[in-house]
Amino acid sequence: MKFKNSLLFISFSVIFYFLFFIFYLRQAKAQSLSLSISPPILEVLIKPGKSVTQVYKITNDGSDAVILIPKLLELNELGIRENSPALEKWISLLNTDLSFNQPFLLPKGITKQLILRLNPPSATSEKDYYRALVFSTKPNPPADSSQSQLSQNIGSPILITVSSTGLLTKAAQVTKFKVPQFIDSFDPLSIDIDIKNTGNTYFRSVGNITLTGPIGKGSFNIFPNVILVGQTRKIFVESAENLPEPQTTLRLPGFYLGKYKVTLDFTLDQGTIKLSQSATFYALPWKAGIIILLGLIVILKLGKRKKK
């Protein structure tokens, strides 16, 4: 009798926890967060003493209202600094009902407009200022623990160039140009290229990588990612940028035979400053050659044994 009672208790416990688990998953799914921000990136060239405004739109495409906290954070070559010091007072919000670091409620399906103002004083140092407008969520209501697990951050980089002439120096250096000297004909080609911004303002690398050899020729456009001042960044071709986590600049399968040349050509933005670098490599089917050689050795040995 005790055994039956214990078995009945275990069965009810399993059913209870199963139903609770299903209910929890439904609640979590119902409280999904989905935020979008426009524009996704802001680039501004402004003279000291001038003023410019930009309208941002933050939309709640989720299923519940959320509480958002707008923040102005520093952006550098390592990413967004969460604990940024006090930043420029000439970057502000013109909304009468909103301010930085003050939470506001955004109902589901609603788009909120924020007006960002940039007004650098006449004495502002002429250089680049990299910032990010970030929206952080907080639980709504605060006591809802499941909602807090779905908190997220969404941000828009702000690239500000303060210059009276717009003629800040652009310069770059290719710090890595890794091309193998020899590859097997049946192995994929793997190329790694890093570029460092050595100038006084950010730029995009615009150009291509070409591959020429006895069997075919190919050209691959470089994805124009932003490279900040002092930042060293790996470049990717446009096809590789769509991969989940690209590890190399270019990885190209195929059959190679003989001598090939890899050439990098790019400009800083659409300007006249051009950089170029090239390297050669050789491809031979050496793995297949070793297998064939070993096969011939085995055949010869077997033939000698048969003669004996």
- Per-residue model confidence as pLDDT tens for the chain (308 residues): 444 444 444 444 434 344 333 333 344 344 456 889 999 999 999 999 999 999 999 999 887 888 999 999 999 888 888 877 778 899 999 999 999 999 999 999 999 999 999 999 999 999 999 999 999 987 666 555 444 445 678 999 999 999 999 889 999 999 999 999 999 989 999 999 999 999 999 999 999 999 999 977 899 999 999 999 999 999 999 875 445 456 889 988 888 899 999 999 999 998 889 999 999 999 998 777 677 777 777 777 776 676 66
Statement: the pTM of the whole predicted model exceeds 0.85: no
Based on the domain organization, do 211 and 243 belong to the same domain? yes
What's the rounded Cα separation, in Å, for the pair 28 and 271? 50
Q: So what's the pLDDT on residue 246?
A: 64
Examine residue 301 and state whether it is found in any structural domain, yes or no.
no
Q: So what's the pLDDT on residue 240?
A: 56
Task: CATH number of the domain at 121, please.
Answer: 2.60.40.10
Based on the domain organization, do 187 and 278 belong to the same domain? yes
Q: So what's the pLDDT on residue 272?
A: 87
Based on the domain organization, do 282 and 194 belong to the same domain? yes
- Domain carrying residue 153: 33-162
Based on the domain organization, do 154 and 41 belong to the same domain? yes
Q: So what's the pLDDT on residue 287?
A: 78
Examine residue 210 and state whether it is found in any structural domain, yes or no.
yes
Examine residue 65 and state whether it is found in any structural domain, yes or no.
yes
